[in-house]
Amino acid sequence: MSDFRFDGSVAEFDYHDVGDRTNTTYMGVFRVKTIVSPMDMIRADRLYRELIGSVNPHMASKETQNFAFALSQLKVRILEAPDFYKNSDLDGSHLDSNILIDIINKSIDAEEEYKKQIDNKLKEMQELLSKRIRNNEIKKEEEIDIEPGTEDLPEIDLDEDEDDKE
């Protein structure tokens, strides 16, 4: 059974865990995007670079890079979050590290599960279409071999008025 509830391309999941440093219990419901647009990726990348530092980003520790990645990705993925996640500086930046990493992992898992569902639906539709073609319920169009440059296309007069057609 899935940990996610889907409403179109938006996933919702319940969250419950305890912080590894503060022993604080965190619980609530997250709603996240399962499709991240190119613009979302640009925004996430810009924030990532800002968080790790623009002067010598390669000098940032692996841990800092991982946190910056998680925070920047969550910034563009999360649509709704419980109050414990919200922060005046940057949402999620005040949380225990295990909580932050767990939330980004769940968000990415939601994206992967959504993609699997879409792939399964596509496969089912393709199988149904193939079955209906085999059963002659749908006629498959004949393939026509046309040699390049030999197509006979009708000419269309683009200057023709609507009144001339009548």
- How many other C-beta atoms lie within 10 A of the C-beta of residue 99? 22
The total of structural domains in the chain comes to: 1
Q: Look at residue 160 and tell me if it is in a domain.
A: no
Strand order in the sheet with 25-33: 4-7, 10-18, 25-33, 78-80
Q: Is residue 135 part of a domain?
A: no
Question: Is residue 165 in a domain?
Answer: no
What is the pLDDT, as a whole number, of residue 101? 96
Calculate the average pLDDT of the chain: 87
Q: What is the pLDDT of residues 86-124, one digit of tens each?
A: 998 899 999 999 999 999 999 999 999 999 999 999 999
Q: Would residue 149 count as lying in a domain?
A: no
pLDDT digits (tens, 9 = 90+) for 59-75: 888 999 999 999 999 99
More confident residue, 162 or 62: 62
Domain assignment of residue 142, yes or no:
no
- Integer-rounded Cα Rg, in Å, for the chain is 26
